[in-house]
Amino acid sequence: MPELDNGEMNEHPTEPHQSLPDPPEPAPTSGWPPPPPPTLSPSQPYPPASPPPAARRPSRIVAAILAALLLLGAGAGLGWGLTRDQGSSTAIGGSSNGQAATSLDVQAIADRVEPAVVDINTEIQGPFGQIGRGAGTGMLVTSSGEVLTNNHVIQGATKIEVSITGRSGTYEASVVGVDFRDDVALLQVQGVSGLPTVRLADSSDLVLGQEVVAIGNALGQGGSPSVTEGTVSALDRSITVGGGMGGSEQLSGLIQMDAPIQPGDSGGPLVDSSARVVGMITAAARSNFGQSASSIGFAIPSNDALGILGQIRSGNETGSIVIGPPGFLGVATDDLESETAPRLGLNATSGALVLSVRPGSPAASAGITPRSVITAIDGQRVSSADALGTAIYRHDPGEQIRVTWVDRSGTHSATVRLITSPIAV
């Protein structure tokens, strides 16, 4: 997973019989952290991040690799997801009985899965016009070019390109829909057909100690995917990943494995001994800031991903699932910490702290500035960056919302008309 620092992670095992030490901080596998954004004070941390989100999405954790050109950090994250193959003749993999393998032929397994694993490369325009680049991993779930990946891999991207094994050049991709809370995105690659696809196992058959293989675009280098092996060390794990431009994220029901994970692996498959996908790599724990690889990783179970994909494909928008372009306010935010408000001279105890405002955006037109705090949308209290993201994503481009914010001069409100997000859709 990428070296993106999502801040301190506190995970809480949901299984009482598990007696596992807390792993170090989970970090997104989205890439190398760019220089941090301007700090509000020496004691206000700004963890590195992956693709800079124009508007905070509530969920994320592993995968893109960012170039140092991206000066303003954004959210990084991990995700999961897969679609059960519908009998495609090009589907890769066999059946899975959920039993722990006694020994794995890792290369043989990788050879069966790799043709359906793609590299995802993005361009991200920062709020001040700077261009950053990200890289992550995706999985082909239909022969016509649907790709499952993490939302954080493509969040805020103005351009998405996919490299497919066995095909020259790159292909443009668009976003079909995302679940910003669960960090899932479904892409459509343009102008392709007859592609191999991954096959899914029943993730409820996973057992502790089962051997698994993790595959991804480690370090965003492209070419043949990296392959590592490990075992399932815990099931149904709950973690909190904090930091970045979007505050903390709560993820639950995760698979924990001890396979080495690196930046760029986000969105990659976690597969069993029969070369079937049991989960999507979504987060990693790291013990120090400079560490690139992690020996503790997390993945979303394939069964959980299937429900999300079904909703996206059916066009079923919910509180967290967005079909097509979401409404866009134009701010990058983090949670307001209790000790931060007094230092900034703000009369607020909670809310979404504005780190940057995109020029020409609805937020800029309303007069919202960095170091202010958004406290309400349409009269409903906003207590965190996640809450702001949820409130904004519920609205389509063109809809009006009333924003309330606090700055050094007091409390302000304005009605703004949301625009289309610059994300590639």
Q: Half-sphere exposure of 110 toward its Cβ, with a 13 Å CA cutoff? A: 16
Helix (H, G, I), strand (E, B) or coil at 306: helix
Any catalytic annotation for residue 152? yes
Given 119, 182, 183, 265, the catalytic residue = 183
Any catalytic annotation for residue 183? yes
Per DSSP, 21 falls in state P
Any catalytic annotation for residue 265? no
Helix (H, G, I), strand (E, B) or coil at 85: coil
Q: Residues 6 or more apart from 82 whose CB is under 8 A from it?
A: 139, 141, 148, 198, 200, 269, 277, 280, 302, 305, 306, 309
CA–CA distance, 148 with 151 (Å, rounded to integer): 9
Given 30, 96, 266, 384, the catalytic residue = 266
Torsions phi, psi for 183 (to 5 deg): 60, 45
Given 143, 152, 203, 335, the catalytic residue = 152
Q: Residues 6 or more apart from 198 whose CB is under 8 A from it?
A: 82, 85, 91, 92, 93, 113, 116, 117, 139, 140, 141, 269, 276, 277
Place of tokens 């560490």: 291
Of the candidates 225, 211, 164, 226, the one whose C-alpha atom is nearest the C-alpha of residue 191 is 164
Of the candidates 260, 201, 268, 316, the one whose C-alpha atom is nearest the C-alpha of residue 64 is 268
CB 223 within 8 A of CB 168: no
Helix (H, G, I), strand (E, B) or coil at 118: strand
CA–CA distance, 365 with 368 (Å, rounded to integer): 8
Per DSSP, 362 falls in state H
- For CA atoms 169, 198, 214, 288, give the dihedral sign: positive
What H or E segment, with its residue span, contains residue 89?
none
CA–CA distance, 369 with 77 (Å, rounded to integer): 26
Q: Give me the active site residues, please.
A: 152, 183, 266
